Amino acid sequence: MKIHEVIITTCDMDDNHHIAPMGINIIDNEVIIKPFKPSKTLENLRETKSAIVNFIDDVRVFAGIVTGIKKEWGLEKVSSNKVMRLKEANSHFTLQVKTETDDEVRPKISCDIIDRKVHKPFLGFNRAQFSVIEAAVLVSRLGRIPMDKINKEIEYLKIGLDKTAGNTELEAWSWIEEKIKSFEIKNDA
Q: Which residues bind ligand FMN (CB under 6 A)?
A: 5, 20-23, 34-36, 39-41, 62, 66, 133, 136-137, 140
Write down the least CB distance from residue 22 to ligand FMN, Å: 4
How far apart are alpha carbons 139 and 166 in whole angstroms?
A: 21
32 vs 189, beta carbon nearer ligand FMN = 32
Q: Which residue is nearest to ligand FMN (CB)?
A: 41
For the four alpha carbons of 154, 155, 159 and 164, in that order, the dihedral sign comes to: positive
- Cite the DSSP H helix spans in the chain: 40-48, 60-67, 127-140, 147-164, 167-187
60 vs 165, beta carbon nearer ligand FMN = 60
109 vs 165, beta carbon nearer ligand FMN = 109
Q: Count the neighbouring beta carbons within 10 Å of the beta carbon of residue 130.
A: 17
Write down the least CB distance from residue 152 to ligand FMN, Å: 19
Write down the least CB distance from residue 182 to ligand FMN, Å: 17
How far apart are alpha carbons 63 and 183 in whole angstroms?
A: 15
